[in-house]
Amino acid sequence: MAANEEAMKYVWEGAIPLQIHLHKSEVASHPAPPPALVLAPRIGYLPLLVPLIKPYFKDSLPPGEDSIWFDYKGVPLKWYIPTGVLFDLLCAEPERPWNLTIHFRGYPSNVLIPCEGEDSAKWNFVNSLKEAAYIINGNCKNVMNMSQSDQEDLWTSVMNGDLDAYTRLLPKLKMGNIEDEFSRKESLSSPVSRQGGGTEIDVAGQVKTARIPVRLYVRSVSQNFENLEDVPEIDTWDEISYMNRPVEFLKEKGKCFTLRDAIESLLPEYSGDRAQTSGEEEADGSQETRGEIKLVRIQGIELKLEIPFSWVVNNLMNPEFYLHISVLVIGPQR
């Protein structure tokens, strides 16, 4: 199997086991319903899981209208963040199955934006797509020009996790490509040019520089830790800072733009430290007041930072052409 196809397959097939508990305040039946076990697609969103979960709990619900929201350890989960990203972000040590609590009442409007179920998720997806198109192409004409049925089909393929359908629909989207010699069929094939990166077929016309849409989630922990198990539980979203900043993909001669370069461009304050390989963390000792990037997770895996960014982008991006990066740092909370 080709490397990029394999990677995309894994990305699309990725699913997190969730154990959904009904919040005890909403248990209206005796005995209390058992938790629901669902597999949540990584690239999907929490509101899409409601039809699967609701049957488990509907008999137990108190009377009233439903306004569904999830929380993890008391923290209401933002629904517009893909499920995989939430998992990577909030669970330092992957908790499998991930225990979430579902609420049907008492929507925390001060914390979460309203959600109307699948439709909200769909619009969120399309908007993100437009944003990505704008970043990549300079305009979102390609999304706008897409017919409504095609948009529906695109969203349906995302909802259903149908990579084939998505791949068929991609040409209609006419999103600009990110030239990546590393994503060709032969994993060891030599790159055409050492220049790497750089789009030559930019739709918008920018030849030399590519802009990659990136959403960066930074969780800062105050205390250093040795093992991931020791990472304290998250309390509030205040611990997490969110950056929606494109990465300028510079084509440099003789140099390959790595992930490290990307992160450094995004988080210059942490660029002094060079986190090593994924998985094991190295206690490097805090140097100054500068934070230390302890963990970089994309699509649930920790990557070697030497990995070419273009490969990362082309293989690990979400269906809406955004690359979601979760970072755990030690440093002062912002």
Partner 1 sequence: MSQEEKAMEAIKDALRALRKRHLLEEGAHGPAISALSKPMISQGSEWKEKTEKLEIELQQCYKAQSRLSDQLVIEVAESRTSKASLQDKELLINDLEKDLSQTREECTRLQEELEEKTKTLDLLITENKEVRSQLEEMTNRAQKAESENKMLIDRWMLQKMQDAERLNEANALYEEMLAKLKANGLENLARQQVDGIVRRNEDGTDHFVESTIPSTCGHRIHAHEGGCGSILFQYNSRTLFTGGQAGPVKMWDTNSGSLIKSLNGSLGNILDLAITHDNKSLIAASSSNNLFVWDVNSGRVRHTLTGHTDKVCAVDVSKFSSRHVVSAAYDRTIKLWDLQKGYCTNTVLFTSNCNAICLSIDGLTVFSGHMDGNLRLWDIQTGKLLSEVAGHSSAITSVSLSRNGNMILTSGRDNVHNVFDTRTLEICGTLRASGNRLASNWSRSCISPDDEYVAAGSADGTVHVWSISKGSIVSTLKEQTSPILCCSWSGIGKPLASADKNGYVCTWT
**Contact between 201 and partner 1 per CB under 8 A:** no
Which helix (DSSP H) or strand (DSSP E) does residue 251 occupy? Answer: none
Distance CA 24, CA 26 (A): 5
**Contact between 56 and partner 1 per CB under 8 A:** yes
- Pick out residues in 274-313 that bind partner 1 (CB under 8 A): 277-279, 299-308, 311-312
The owner of tokens 């597999």 is 39
**Contact between 14 and partner 1 per CB under 8 A:** yes
Residue 71: strand pairing partners: 76, 101
List strands edge to edge, sheet with 323-330.
240-244, 214-221, 323-330, 292-298, 301-302
**Contact between 129 and partner 1 per CB under 8 A:** no
- Min separation Cβ 302 and partner 1, Å: 6
Pick the closer one to partner 1 by CB: 162 or 237.
162
The CA–CA distances, whole Å, from 306 to 229, 231, 232, 278 equal 26, 26, 29, 11
Q: Using alpha carbons, select from 125, 160, 161 the residue that is nearest to residue 146.
A: 125
Q: Which of 220, 258, 265, 326 lies at the binding interface for partner 1 (CB under 8 A)?
A: 258
* 84 phi and psi angles, rounded to 5 deg: -60, -40
**Contact between 15 and partner 1 per CB under 8 A:** yes
Q: Which of 31, 55, 114, 268 lies at the binding interface for partner 1 (CB under 8 A)?
A: 55
**Contact between 47 and partner 1 per CB under 8 A:** no
**Contact between 52 and partner 1 per CB under 8 A:** yes
**Contact between 62 and partner 1 per CB under 8 A:** no
Q: Using alpha carbons, select from 50, 57, 48, 47 the residue that is nearest to residue 77.
A: 47
- Min separation Cβ 159 and partner 1, Å: 16
Structure tokens at 191: 């790159």
Q: What does the angle CA 24 – CA 29 – CA 32 come to, to the nearest 5 degrees?
A: 50
Q: Which of 62, 64, 74, 94 lies at the binding interface for partner 1 (CB under 8 A)?
A: 94
- Min separation Cβ 212 and partner 1, Å: 17
Pick the closer one to partner 1 by CB: 7 or 136.
7
Distance CA 222, CA 214 (A): 25
Where residue 138 falls (left for φ over 0; alpha for ψ -120 to 50; beta otherwise) is: left
Pick the closer one to partner 1 by CB: 112 or 312.
312
**Contact between 51 and partner 1 per CB under 8 A:** yes
- Please report, as ranges, the residues that interact with partner 1 according to CB under 8 A: 3, 6-7, 10-11, 13-17, 36-39, 51-52, 55-56, 94, 96-97, 182, 187-188, 191, 255-256, 258-259, 277-279, 299-308, 311-312, 316
